Amino acid sequence: MNKSERLALYHLWVAFGLFVPAVLLGAWQMLARSPLPAPLQDHPSTYYASVTLHGTVMAYVLTTFFAMGFGYAVAATSLRRPIHGMTAAWVGFAICLTGTLMAAATIVAGRASVLYTFYPPLLASPWYYLGALLLIGGSMIWVVLMIINMAAWKRDNPGLPVPLAMFATTATAYLWAWAATGVLLELICILIPRAFGWTDLIDAALGRTLFSVTLHGIVYFWLMPAYIAFYTLVPEAAGGRLYSDTMGRLTFIMFLVFSIPVGIHHLLADPEHATGFKFVQSFLTFLVVLPTLVTVFSLSASLEIAGRHRGGRGLLGWIWALPWDRPMVLACGLSLIMLGLGGFGGIINMSYAMNSMIHNTSWVTAHFHLIFGGAVVIMYFAIAYEIWPRITGKPLCLVWLARWQLWLWFWGMMIATIPWHITGLIGQPRRVAAFDYSMPLYARMGPLVIISVIGGFFLLISALLLAVVLVRSQFGERSVPEPLRYALAVNPPRHVPPSLNGFALWNSILLVLMIAAYGYPIGQFFFMKDHNVPAIEATGQSIPTEDAR
Amino acid sequence: MAEPLSNPPDRPLPDGIIPEEVVAHTEKRWIAIMSAILVVMMAVIVVTGVMGALHPPSNVEAIDPQTLHLKGEFVDSNLGAAVEPDGSVTVRLIAVQFDFVPHSVTVPADTSITFRITSADVIHGFLLPDTNVNTMIVPGFVAEVRTRFTRSDKYEMPCNEYCGLGHHAMVGLVNVVPKGRFPAQDLLERTSNE
């Protein structure tokens, strides 16, 4: 195992090592808020600590460590040379891991039940915020390393197109740097000073607005590894060619430019912003749909090439000719189904006025579980199965079990989230520890909630199977690994214009867009009076009982 | 151990099986169709937003949460439903950990209703299931949302934003009664002019 492989492996083990217990928490939460009996059911404080840990692990830890590990693997294999800055990479790993453990310990101690979205003026222990700061800040070392490695390769290979996988990985790094700015500013300027008692009143609305800068970009940061696999690994696994290299580059550029100046669509129901910028950003959000629609086309075309090459005939016959026994191809198919359903829900969420119908209901929970937990995370599994043999030097064992794992994850996500969409439309609020099923509002949701618990059970089994396959493969017999191969385009690029081979132009455009989209919404708070508020400790409050009501 | 997977076809695919021009042409057509679909969707939002005045709740109005009970329209005696001179009803509520004040409010059906809500502590949410009444309540700001109930009913009003360890217990009640049975006489002394 050489150095870059060990680096990637350690990152992926942290990602999945925390992912599995976080799925267990999620499954328990679904049971605890259902009408069924559950252990620790009458401990709302345990529930909210659990939601905070589940969200923090899934949104920050799994995704950041996965993106970093996958990024290092891509940098080493697509550029075919050792990574520059290995020491810095390990320092970054150590900082991120320290932050993760610090945040997790604070949550488990019950001192940080503010959810991963923080929600000031609720206030957690400063160690939770410091942990988050180390994790997110530490990942900026990875961002810089990706940018440096791409630049160094370009310097040594003048005029040649950067391999699409590396180009996309660097786009992901830039995207994360832009997106993380919001949450880092919120932590450094508002939350950490208040948590240590250095300030008194805080600007909760500004904090919320800064977090919205992160909140949409981060979703695309989560998504990018899946799209990198769609363009560079799936066509190869299917035995075909990528339909178009140019469309791949354009897709990742569009994600970078369009996914950040749109975060206020998460604040459509907020009283601290007027209609104007809600309208503008809701409008801009539609542009983010375009790269996904382009990807669906490119991916389908690439798969069709593969299917026909394998002997598929007729209008749709090529679909059956694809090698569905390969985890990467199977995961891609299942991912597209969830992406389609989840994307449809997302268009409703971001639609300026339609959002009122489902804002903050379990519809939203259903949406991001389907898109992120479903469509994206299933591709994380497939990527892990694909690169595991390359980074451990041992073949993937139990491939049949890996297929079961993917199918269970798919059905679990569908069974869990379809009922949530319905209960959300009926008006089930989010992030609730317990529902009083004797209330007329909740009584009719009972059966749907029970069905969703079955989905949660499937997801838990699937997560355990993932661990079995990866651990078993890790301890398998060493063999000569095949190199990680990326899909070739039908017409391999020989020369691409500088704008499609770097990010200077696109970062400049994004800067202008950000000033236009966020300049006023953020700036207004510095001229507004009377809106600063005292912080409220999240834990240790007395909880109202039924008798008191 | 490693089971055999379906093999890739024997002969590899050559470069350029689809000419570059064909790829470019097909993609341009796809992007044109997708852009047209997006334009239609955006147009629907613009038309309903501008023509139908369909907007999310967005009234930017700062208020100091520490003096709510001392002065201004959210003093205790002024909370609840108040009839305006034009016959519409304004409902003033304060969200606190973990209840709405007042906990229950009665409003008439078939009347234009304006909810004005603020928070005395943390962020809360205000949702009337089965309606499009849905707004965040951020301390330091007054959230305003207008609606018109078409039928009498009891609406449970859960807080839909995480507000602390008692979040699940925070459910208020909006009681919609027929217009004729709305007890207006109790409310005449309240004013909306502060």
Contact (Cβ atoms closer than 8 angstroms) between residue A389 and residue A6: no
A380 is catalytic: no
Whether A275 and B129 lie within 8 Å, measured CB to CB:
no
Residues of chain A with Cβ-Cβ distance to B140 below 8 Å are: 204-205, 272, 530-533
A216 is catalytic: yes
Whether B5 and A274 lie within 8 Å, measured CB to CB:
no
Single-letter amino acid, residue B24: A
Whether B5 and A270 lie within 8 Å, measured CB to CB:
no
Contact (Cβ atoms closer than 8 angstroms) between residue A401 and residue B135: no
Helix (H, G, I), strand (E, B) or coil at A149: helix
In sequence order, the β-bridge partners of residue B116 are: B92, B144
Does residue B122 belong to any structural domain of this protein?
yes
Burial letters for A224-256: b for 16+ Cβ neighbours within 10 Å, e otherwise?
bbbbbbbbbbbbbbbbbbbbbbbbbbbbbbbbb
Does residue B139 belong to any structural domain of this protein?
yes
The shortest CB-CB distance from A399 to any of B5, B8, B38 is to B5
- Four-residue CA torsion sign, A91, A94, A100, A101: negative
The shortest CB-CB distance from A427 to any of B58, B130, B154 is to B130
- Four-residue CA torsion sign, A424, A428, A434, A435: negative
Using the Cβ of A400 and the Cβ atoms of chain B, whether some distance falls under 8 Å is answered with yes
Q: Computed over its alpha carbons, how large is the radius of gyration of chain A? A: 23
- Backbone φ and ψ of A68, nearest 5°: -70, -50
A220 is catalytic: yes
Nearest CA in chain A to B172: A549
* Spans of chain A, pLDDT less than 70: 1, 481, 540-549
Locus of tokens 């079955």: A454
What CATH number does residue B155 fall under? 2.60.40.420
A367 is catalytic: yes
A495 is catalytic: no
Question: Which residue out of A208, A216, A326, A421 is catalytically annotated?
Answer: A216
Helix (H, G, I), strand (E, B) or coil at B8: coil
Contact (Cβ atoms closer than 8 angstroms) between residue A256 and residue A506: yes
Does residue B3 belong to any structural domain of this protein?
no
Nearest CA in chain B to A265: B56
Q: What is the largest distance, in Å, between two alpha-carbon atoms of chain B?
A: 89
Residues of chain B with Cβ-Cβ distance to A473 below 8 Å are: none
Does residue B176 belong to any structural domain of this protein?
yes
Residues of chain B with Cβ-Cβ distance to A532 below 8 Å are: 140
Q: Computed over its alpha carbons, how large is the radius of gyration of chain B? A: 27
The shortest CB-CB distance from B139 to any of A121, A293, A356 is to A121
B92 in the same domain as B120: yes
Helix (H) or strand (E) holding A4: helix A3-32
- The predicted structure's pLDDT at residue A544: 41
Single-letter amino acid, residue A259: S
**In angstroms, what separates the C-alpha of A309 from chain B's closest C-alpha?**
7
For residues A199, A202, A206 and A210, what is the CA-based torsion angle, rounded to 10 degrees? 50
Does residue B126 belong to any structural domain of this protein?
yes
Judge if the upstream peptide bond of residue B183 is cis by omega within 30 degrees of 0: no
Residues of chain A with Cβ-Cβ distance to B27 below 8 Å are: 244, 247, 294, 297-298
For residues A136, A140, A143 and A148, what is the CA-based torsion angle, rounded to 10 degrees? -170
- Looking at the 3D structure of chain B, how many domains does it have? 2
B85 in the same domain as B46: no
- Rounded Cα distance between B142 and A363, Å, is 26
Using the Cβ of A497 and the Cβ atoms of chain B, whether some distance falls under 8 Å is answered with no
Residue B193: pLDDT band with limits 50, 70, 90: very low
Contact (Cβ atoms closer than 8 angstroms) between residue A52 and residue A116: yes
Spatial neighbors of A420 by CB under 8 A, at least 6 apart, are A362, A363, A365, A366, A369, A428, A452
Look at residues A143, A326, A153, A171 and name the one whose alpha carbon lies nearest to residue A233: A326
B75 in the same domain as B111: yes
Judge if the upstream peptide bond of residue A120 is cis by omega within 30 degrees of 0: no
Residue B190: pLDDT band with limits 50, 70, 90: low
Question: Which residue out of A60, A174, A211, A220 is catalytically annotated?
Answer: A220
H-helix segments, A62-163? 63-78, 86-108, 126-156
- Backbone φ and ψ of B99, nearest 5°: -160, 170
B89 in the same domain as B122: yes
Residue B184: pLDDT band with limits 50, 70, 90: low
Please report the domains of chain A, with CATH numbers, ordered by start residue. 3-537 (1.20.210.10)
- The predicted structure's pLDDT at residue B3: 59
Using the Cβ of A112 and the Cβ atoms of chain B, whether some distance falls under 8 Å is answered with no
Among B9, B29, B55, identify where a domain stops.
B55
Whether B18 and A356 lie within 8 Å, measured CB to CB:
no
Taking the CA of residue A383 as centre, how many other CA atoms within 13 Å lie in the half-sphere pointing to its CB?
A: 30
Angle, to 10 degrees, between the axis of helix A204-232 and the axis of helix A327-350?
A: 150
The shortest CB-CB distance from B162 to any of A115, A287, A293 is to A115
Nearest CA in chain B to A245: B23
The shortest CB-CB distance from B166 to any of A51, A204, A544 is to A544
Nearest CA in chain A to B40: A286
Whether A356 and B137 lie within 8 Å, measured CB to CB:
no
B137 in the same domain as B71: yes
Vertex A80: Cα angle to A76 and A85 (nearest 5):
40
- Rounded Cα distance between B81 and A181, Å, is 43
Question: DSSP 3-state helix, strand, coil percentages of chain B (rounded to 5)?
Answer: 25, 30, 45
Question: Taking 50 as the threshold, does the pLDDT of residue B107 lie above it?
Answer: yes
A273 is catalytic: no
Helix (H, G, I), strand (E, B) or coil at A531: coil
For residue B106, give Cα distances in angstroms to A98, B82, B109, B158, B192.
53, 10, 10, 16, 17
B82 in the same domain as B44: no
B171 in the same domain as B129: yes
Question: Which residue out of A48, A93, A255, A368 is catalytically annotated?
Answer: A368
Question: Which residue out of A369, A390, A403, A421 is catalytically annotated?
Answer: A369
Vertex A343: Cα angle to B146 and B57 (nearest 5):
15
For residue A180, give Cα distances in angstroms to A60, A212, A376.
11, 10, 20
Whether B26 and A301 lie within 8 Å, measured CB to CB:
yes
Residues of chain A with Cβ-Cβ distance to B156 below 8 Å are: 439-441
Residues of chain A with Cβ-Cβ distance to B19 below 8 Å are: 491
What end-to-end distance do the CA atoms of chain A give, in Å?
Answer: 63
Whether B15 and A325 lie within 8 Å, measured CB to CB:
no
Residues of chain A with Cβ-Cβ distance to B125 below 8 Å are: 269, 360, 429
Angle, to 10 degrees, between the axis of helix A86-108 and the axis of helix A63-78?
A: 170
- The predicted structure's pLDDT at residue B187: 52
Structure tokens at A379: 């591709």
- The predicted structure's pLDDT at residue A548: 40
Does residue B192 belong to any structural domain of this protein?
no
A368 is catalytic: yes
B106 in the same domain as B43: no
In sequence order, the β-bridge partners of residue A421 are: none
B129 in the same domain as B174: yes
Whether B58 and A278 lie within 8 Å, measured CB to CB:
yes
B114 in the same domain as B22: no
- Rounded Cα distance between A304 and A308, Å, is 6
The parent domain of residue B101 ranges over: 65-185
Does residue B193 belong to any structural domain of this protein?
no
- Four-residue CA torsion sign, B140, B146, B147, B152: positive
Q: What is the largest distance, in Å, between two alpha-carbon atoms of chain A?
A: 75
**In angstroms, what separates the C-alpha of A43 from chain B's closest C-alpha?**
10
Whether B57 and A240 lie within 8 Å, measured CB to CB:
no
Question: Taking 90 as the threshold, does the pLDDT of residue B112 lie above it?
Answer: yes
Single-letter amino acid, residue A17: G
Residues of chain A with Cβ-Cβ distance to B13 below 8 Å are: 240-241, 305, 309
**In angstroms, what separates the C-alpha of B161 from chain A's closest C-alpha?**
7
B108 in the same domain as B42: no
Does residue B33 belong to any structural domain of this protein?
yes
Using the Cβ of A302 and the Cβ atoms of chain B, whether some distance falls under 8 Å is answered with no
Contact (Cβ atoms closer than 8 angstroms) between residue A350 and residue A36: no
B129 in the same domain as B106: yes
Structure tokens at A79: 């550029």
Whether B23 and A244 lie within 8 Å, measured CB to CB:
yes
Contacts 24+ apart (CB under 8 A), A191-197: A191/A118, A191/A120, A191/A123, A191/A129, A192/A126, A192/A129, A192/A130, A192/A133, A194/A120, A194/A123, A194/A535, A195/A123, A195/A124, A195/A125, A195/A126, A195/A129, A196/A126
The shortest CB-CB distance from A239 to any of B9, B23, B140 is to B9
Spatial neighbors of A222 by CB under 8 A, at least 6 apart, are A59, A63, A67, A372, A376
